[in-house]
Amino acid sequence: EALRTVLHVAPEHTVAVGDGRNDLEMLAWAGRGVAMGQAVREVKEAADEVTASVDDHGLADVLWSLVPEADRPEGV
How far apart are alpha carbons 8 and 3 in whole angstroms?
8
Look at residue 46 in the predicted model and tell me its pLDDT.
Answer: 97
The torsion angles phi and psi of 35, rounded to 5 degrees, stand at -95, 140
At the second CATH level, the architecture of 2-65 is 3-Layer(aba) Sandwich (3.40)
At 8 the pLDDT is 95
Of residues 40 and 75, the one with the higher pLDDT is: 40
Q: How far is 10 from 4, CA to CA, in rounded Å?
A: 7
For 17, the enclosing helix (H) or strand (E) is: strand 15-18
Domain boundaries, the chain: 2-65
pLDDT of residue 76: 64
